[in-house]
Amino acid sequence: MSDIAHSAQPFAHVPCGIPGLDTIINGGLFQGGIYIVMGQPGTGKTILGNQISFNHVAAGGQVVYVTLLAETHARMLGHIQGLSFFDAQQIAASLYFISAYQVLEEEGLRGLLGLLRTVVRDRRASLLVIDGLVTAEVAAGSPNEFKHFLHQLQINTDAMSCTTLLLTQSGVDDRTRPEHTMVDGLIELRHERVRLRTLRELEVLKFRGSNHLKGRHVFQINDAGIVVHPRIEALLARPTRPISVRDEQLSTGVLSLDTLIGGGLKFGSATMLLGAPGSGKTLLGLSFLAAGVRANEPGLHFGFYEPPARLIAKGDQIGLDTSEAVRDGRLEIIWQSPLETLIDALATQLLAAVERRGVRRLFIDGMSGFQRAAVYEERLPDFFTALTQELAAREVTTVFSLELPQLFGPAIELPFTGVSTIAENILLLRYSEWRARLERTISVLKMRDQSYDPSIRRFTISDAGIEIQEAFESAEAILTGIARPVISSPPSS
Amino acid sequence: MKTILVVEDEQAIAEMLSLTLEEEGYRVLVAKNGSEALALLASERPHLVLCDVMMPKLDGRGLAQTMAETAEYATIPLVLMSAARLSRESLPESAAAFLPKPLDIDALLELIARLTTA
């Protein structure tokens, strides 16, 4: 035999170039594959199709974008030309828009198939997008005819190594549609109303040949087009690198606190500062970061409530030299509005900031910022577990603050369930009334794998810094918020 | 006009090959398996046979063997194609070429042009 040809790369990836989407589908679509993108009107199908097309031509590919819609190309392009991926120079050169509506009307599916074959071949297209597939479905005489059309299309485009994206409307009986069994992948775009918010969600329902990230992932449409935020607990179900174990302790920046907790915080651990408003959580966190600055460990303050200027002033006031650390780049302060944000977007931003500067100490000031962004609160324990595991794998020692709603009182109500499993160490900061004075107190609720002093201590903040004072040896019921003196029993006669 | 005999049990692929080859100026005959191909060869003399390996009734290997053993057909170039990854040893020596599926149309057309002008 003279010629044995081997398929060049039957499983080569065709990246979508959409942030997050290629991560969810493990690198991109497969060359020659056929994929359905479905969704209700207004969910972003046309933007997705165009964004993938413009990205594909920017990477050197050739695209044929076929519309079966009544909308003109001018109108469609008018709607997307403000998005940053849009490049008018590519249109007609590498990105070819044609309307097949009339051909379908006059010649049916057979005529449409002929047109698609010819145009893909003539343009040597590596990506074909058909926008408005539902029109072809309606034009088919029967479900079998439509299936046959898709099968023919699949074979033709596969033979031309052309990846195909079919954009279509979703309906009520989508889970049982026969064409869904034929295609290589099925991506659904949805609007989901959760209380007063409406979320855009993407779900890959099927993706042959790849272990994609299952479940729903939120996405946004902004000036850059579509940005998908993979669900963090799915993306980081396993950390991206092994978690190294080092027998090393990091100072909290408060020597007396280090003594209380048995020498410092373990390298790579996650510690929660649980406390009432104003109980000193932020200053303790800043102090932890300042100790890192002194040890040349890059720090990051990721907060939601206090803007950078106020934090810097706060740190400077108690002698932490926060302004200088920020100025020379050893400390970064990222402030995020807690309003209308997305939890997965926040985590992605946080991890990117950690990676960018090789952050070793992180203070997340306000877990409730993530809580507000979560929308689905039941996600929080898994979300934080995945995030803290990943931070540990990236050799980051993390301190979180979590505000307790009550200033005083015998009960501690945690803002969400599963808090104690997220953090290896928990410090409780509270107020207590003692002899007509309001005292800040600190106590250790949990320190994993290290011994600590279980006493309840006074905790003072002054211009000289934070100081942990002596234990309340002559009082009890301190954690109720109203301490009372211990009355010693009279000696028995 | 040169004639190509396409032997393929999958109708959609046969249709795609027919249309593509006709557009390139070939006359195309189609058979659904090796037995149908042999029946056609009794009356037609194609310039090349393009044949799937796995088919019902008489498969591609069987057709290759029969063609090799029949003097009238032995000189017709036979191109085998399959989605299966087949080793050189597992393919009949008499076949002129093997193409994997999914087919690369440009490579197929280039091969057919070369084998039919040789």
Specify the pLDDT at position A59: 96
pLDDT at A489: 56
Nearest to B88 among A4, A151, A158 (CB): A4
Confidence of residue A315 (pLDDT cuts 50, 70, 90): very high
DSSP state of A91: B
The answer to whether the Cβ–Cβ distance between A159 and B19 falls below 8 Å is no
**Chain B residue with minimal CA distance to A10?**
B102
Angstrom distance (rounded) from CA B42 to CA A123: 40
Q: Given an 8 Å threshold on Cβ–Cβ distance, is A3 in contact with B91?
A: no
Taking the Cβ of residue B25 and every Cβ of chain A, the question of whether any pair is shorter than 8 Å is answered with no
Chain B neighbors of A6, CB-CB under 8 A: 100
What confidence tens digit (pLDDT) does each residue in A318-328 have? 999 999 999 99
Structure confidence by residue, pLDDT tens digits, A94-141: 999 999 998 999 999 999 999 999 999 889 999 999 999 999 999 998
Pick from B88, B103, B107: CB nearest A1: B88
Do the bridges between strand A185-194 and strand A197-207 make them parallel or antiparallel, or are there none, so unpaired? antiparallel
Q: How far is B96 from chain A (nearest CA, A)?
A: 5
For testing contact with chain A, the best of B21, B82, B91, B105 (most A CBs within 10 A): B105
**Token pair for residue A142?**
């029967």
- For the residues of A327-353, what is the DSSP string, one character each? HTTSEEEEE---SS--HHHHHHHHHHH
Residue that has been written with the tokens 């093997």 in this structure? B98
Q: Residue A8: what pLDDT?
A: 45
Asked if residue A175 has pLDDT above 90, the reply is no
Residues 33-62 of B with CB under 8 A from A: none
Greater pLDDT, A55 or A473: A55
Instruction: State pLDDT tens for residues B5-56.
Output: 999 998 888 999 999 999 999 999 999 999 999 999 999 999 999 999 988 8
Higher pLDDT, A178 or A95: A95
Residue A226 pLDDT greater than 60, yes or no: yes
Q: Is residue A484 very low, low, confident or very high in pLDDT (cuts 50, 70, 90)?
A: low
Cβ separation B100–A6 shorter than 8 A:
yes
Task: Report the alpha-carbon distance of residue A299 to residue A290 in Å, rounded.
Answer: 8
Instruction: Write down the pTM of the prediction.
Output: 0.84
Whether residue A7 is predicted with pLDDT greater than 60 in this model: the reply is no
Length of chain B: 118
What is the Cα–Cα distance from B118 to B115, expressed in whole angstroms?
5
For residue A10, pLDDT beyond 60:
no
Residue of B nearest to A158 (CA): B102
Mean pLDDT along residues A146-153 = 92
Structure tokens at A129: 């997008």
B16, B24, B50: best to mutate for the A interface, most A CBs within 10 A? B16
Q: Do B97 and A155 touch (CB under 8 A)?
A: no
Cα angle A56-A219-A204, degrees, rounded to a multiple of 5 = 70
**Nearest CB neighbour to B96, from listed A2, A8, A159:** A2
In whole angstroms, how far apart are CA A384 and each of A420, A426, A473, B84?
Answer: 11, 15, 36, 46
| CB-based contact B97 A4, cutoff 8 Å | yes
CB pairs < 8 Å spanning A and B: 60
pLDDT of residue A410 exceeding 80: no
pLDDT over threshold 50, residue A493: no
CA-based nearest distance B43→chain A, Å:
27
Quick count: other Cβ atoms within 10 Å of Cβ B70? 12
What is the distance between the alpha carbons of residues A31 and A171, in angstroms, rounded to a whole number?
Answer: 28
pLDDT digits (tens, 9 = 90+) for A60-78: 999 999 999 877 888 888 8
Using CA atoms, how far apart are residues A42 and A390, in angstroms rounded to an integer? Answer: 35
Least confident residue range of A233-237, A251-255, A269-273, A429-433: A429-433
B6: which chain A residues are within 8 Å (Cβ-Cβ)? none
Predicted pLDDT of residue A475: 61
pLDDT over 90 percentage in chain A: 65
Helix then strand count (H, E) for chain B reads 4, 5
Tell me whether residues A7 and B111 touch, CB distance under 8 A: no
Domains and CATH numbers, chain A: 3-230 (3.40.50.300), 249-485 (3.40.50.300)
Q: What's the length of chain A?
A: 493
How far is C-alpha A457 from the chain's CA centre? Answer: 38
Q: What percent of chain A is modeled with pLDDT above 70?
A: 90
Task: Reply yes or no on whether the pLDDT at A471 is more than 70.
Answer: yes
